[in-house]
A and B are shown apart, each in its own frame.
Chain A
Amino acid sequence: MNWLIGCAAFLLGASYVNVQMANGEGRDQAITRFLVPTLFGISLLMLWEGVVRGLDVPGVILPAPSTIWETFKASTGILWQDFVQTFVKGALSGYLMGALAAFAVALLVDRSDFLRRGILPVGNFMAALPIIGIAPILVMWFGFDWQSKAAVVVVMVFFPILVNTVEGLRATDRMQRDLMHTYAASYWQSLFKLRLPAAMPFVFNGLKVATTLALIGAIVAEFFGSPIRGMGFRISTEVGRLALDMVWAEILVAAIAGSAFYGIVAMLESIVTFWHPSQRRRR
Chain B
Amino acid sequence: MSDVSLPARSAGASAVVKATFEAIFPVVVVVAVIVGLWYAACVPMNIKASLTQAEREGAVIVPPEAKVRRDMSPIGLALANPEHTGTTFSQERPLLPAPHQVARELWNTTGDMVLQGKGFSKRSLLYHAWITLSATLLGFAIGTVAGILLAVGIVHSRVMNMSVMPWAIASQTIPILAIAPMIIVVLNSIGITGLLPKALISAYLSFFPVVVGMVKGLRSPDAMQLDLLRTYYASKSETFWKLRLPSSMPYFFTSMKIAMAASLVGAIVGELPTGAVRGLGARLLAGSYYGQTVQIWAALFAAAILAAALVGIIGILQRRTLKKLGMAH
Contact = CB atoms under 8 A, between A and B. Distances in A.
In the complex, which of the residues A114, A117, A134, A139 has the most CB atoms of chain B within 10 Å of its own CB atom? A117
Interface stretch (B4-12, B21-29, B56-64, B224-232): B21-29
A224 interface: yes
A274 interface: no
A262 to B, nearest CB: 4
A179 interface: no
Q: Which of A15, A23, A220 has the most CB of B within 10 A?
A: A220
A115 interface: yes
Contacts of B268: 130, 132-133
Contacts, number: 166
Interface in B132-177: 158-159, 161-167, 170, 172-175, 177
Contacts of B189: 60-61, 242
Contact of B172 (A212, A248, A263): A212
Contacts of A239: 181-182, 185, 273
Given A117-B22, A122-B30, A122-B31, A37 B166 contact: yes
Contact of B162 (A18, A128, A130): A18
A37 B284 contact: no
Contacts of A235: 178, 181-182
A75 to B, nearest CB: 17
A136 interface: yes
A92 B159 CA distance: 37
A33 to B, nearest CB: 7
A136 B181 contact: no
B43 interface: no
Interface residues of B, number: 58
Contacts of B166: 37
A97 interface: no
B173 A223 contact: no
A121 B186 contact: no
Interface string B252-290: 000001000100110011001100000011001101100
A139 B182 contact: no
Contacts of A224: 272, 285, 288
Contacts of B190: 61
A251 B23 CA distance: 44
A142 B22 CA distance: 39
Contacts of B34: 122
Given A40-B164, A128-B261, A140 B182 contact: no
A236 B177 contact: no
A8 interface: no
Contacts of B273: 223, 236, 239
A219 B172 CA distance: 16
A227 B285 CA distance: 17
A137 B296 contact: yes
Contact of A134 (B170, B300, B311): B300
A247 interface: yes
A126 to B, nearest CB: 9
Interface string A98-138: 00000000000000001101110110010011101111110
Nearest to B185: A239
Given A130-B307, A212-B175, A27 B95 contact: no
A27 B174 contact: no
A261 interface: yes
A115 B26 contact: yes
Contact of B182 (A37, A117, A247, A255): A247
B210 interface: no
A231 interface: yes
A115 B172 CA distance: 33
Contacts of B161: 22
Nearest to A208: B173
Interface string A16-29: 00110111000100
18 contacts: A19-B159, A22-B158, A37-B165, A62-B186, A114-B26, A118-B30, A119-B26, A125-B308, A128-B261, A130-B265, A133-B303, A137-B288, A140-B293, A215-B178, A219-B178, A223-B181, A250-B178, A254-B175
Interface of A: 15, 18-19, 21-23, 27, 32-33, 36-37, 39-41, 60-62, 114-115, 117-119, 121-122, 125, 128-130, 132-137, 139-141, 211-212, 215-216, 219-220, 223-225, 231-232, 235-236, 239-240, 242, 244, 247-248, 250-251, 254-255, 258-259, 261-263
